[in-house]
Amino acid sequence: MVNRKFIFWVFVVTGIVSGILWWWGSDKKELILFHPLKVSYTVEQKKFEAEKDQSSQNRNFLSTLQDKIGKLQGTYAIYVFRLSKNKGYGINEDLIMPAASIMKVPIMLAVRQATSEGKLTWDTKYTLKDEDKRSGSGPIEFMDAGSELTVQQLTEYMIKNSDNTASMVLSNMLGRDVIDKEILLLGMEHTNFRDYTTTAFDVGLMWRKIYEMKNEDIFNLFKDSIYEDRLPAGLPDTVDVIHKVGTGDGVWVDAGIVMPQILNPPVGRAGPKSQVPNIEPLVIVILNKGVDASESAKMVPTLTKEIWEYETQSK
């Protein structure tokens, strides 16, 4: 009888001790896993607020843009960042939007990182397979299976031609976790590679990081793509612009950097010819979803032109 009572109390005490240990361990786990994320988000939000230029002049200008896009089908997100002043402004800049082919930019940056670490070389060859091919944009889908392409060629096709097959091949070569890591290193906290979604603010942050790299090879990769009908079409043809477009069902977007230097007019560049004033480098991001393609094909250059004129005339 005594032995049974003893065993009973051993079980009771063991249960109480186990419960206390479980409670203590769970509390510690919450402190470690969740609190830093909340702090990180708070810091990012405070940084975002600090970078906003909420002058009355900007608010009036944004109201004008809102009136224009408010009459159109779909939703627009706009973000402008003055690189030399570290200030930006926008409309719906924190709204989750389709990234479309703008997501090819982090892929390119991840490729460059892999080459710098020796995991890939620019001369690394890939043999094309039929199952690699993706339709929509780019010439690689029309190449024969068995064709050999270097990492350099795949990267150039992906950016200059927005080649969908090239982006798929490079993503598979790198691994999606590597691209996720690159997105986090860029600070793009609200960008999801698997869903191909982002925000105008995140895209603007990406271009800010690219500008800070001051890498001419990267800059040149984004110049004179086969798609010069969006941001460049709204800018004087003597202005240098590096950018990446995105196109999809109800999506007609572009984002990039208007550079300060003056260049000779690129061949085939559409846009108004005018005397170009000295301006600071400028990030412009125009995202949308659910839009009418014909409307957006006109509106993206129009918005770009209005942003350009506002930025140059308000100096």
Q: Which of 271, 275, 262 is nearest to 300 (CA)?
A: 271
34 inside domain? no
Claim to verify: residue 280 and residue 310 sit in the same structural domain: yes
Claim to verify: residue 106 and residue 252 sit in the same structural domain: no
What is the per-residue pLDDT for 54?
76
Which domain range does residue 131 map to?
100-195
Distance separating alpha carbons of residues 183 and 105, to the nearest angstrom? 10
Using alpha carbons only, give the angle 233, 235, 236 rounded to the nearest 5 degrees. 110
Cβ-contact 283, 211 below 8 angstroms? yes
Claim to verify: residue 175 and residue 301 sit in the same structural domain: no
Distance separating alpha carbons of residues 303 and 118, to the nearest angstrom? 42
What is the per-residue pLDDT for 314?
62
pLDDT, mean over the chain:
84
| Domain finish residue from 172, 195, 218 | 195
What is the per-residue pLDDT for 200?
98
Q: How, if at all, do strands 87-91 and 282-289 pair?
A: unpaired
Distance separating alpha carbons of residues 224 and 227, to the nearest angstrom? 8
What is the per-residue pLDDT for 4?
54
Claim to verify: residue 231 and residue 279 sit in the same structural domain: yes
Q: What is the CATH number of the domain that holds 115?
A: 3.40.710.10
Helix (H, G, I), strand (E, B) or coil at 89: strand
Q: How, if at all, do strands 197-198 and 148-150 pair?
A: unpaired
1 inside domain? no
Give 145's contacts (C-beta < 8 A, 6+ positions apart): 128, 129, 130
310 inside domain? yes
For the chain, the domain total comes to 2
Per-residue pLDDT of the chain (315 residues; tens, 9 = 90+): 445 555 555 555 555 555 544 444 433 333 222 223 333 334 444 455 557 777 889 999 999 999 999 999 999 999 999 998 899 999 999 999 999 999 999 999 999 999 999 999 999 999 999 999 998 888 999 999 999 999 999 999 999 999 999 999 999 999 999 999 999 999 999 999 999 999 999 999 999 999 999 999 999 999 989 999 999 999 998 889 999 999 999 999 999 999 865 444 444 444 444 445 556 899 999 999 999 999 999 999 999 999 999 998 865
25 inside domain? no
**What is the number of other CB atoms lying within 10 angstroms of the CB of residue 26?**
10
Claim to verify: residue 216 and residue 261 sit in the same structural domain: yes
Claim to verify: residue 181 and residue 139 sit in the same structural domain: yes
Cβ-contact 234, 302 below 8 angstroms? yes
What is the per-residue pLDDT for 278?
59
What is the per-residue pLDDT for 47?
53
Give the tokens for residue 77. Answer: 């997100």
What is the per-residue pLDDT for 12?
53
86 inside domain? yes
Cβ-contact 261, 219 below 8 angstroms? no
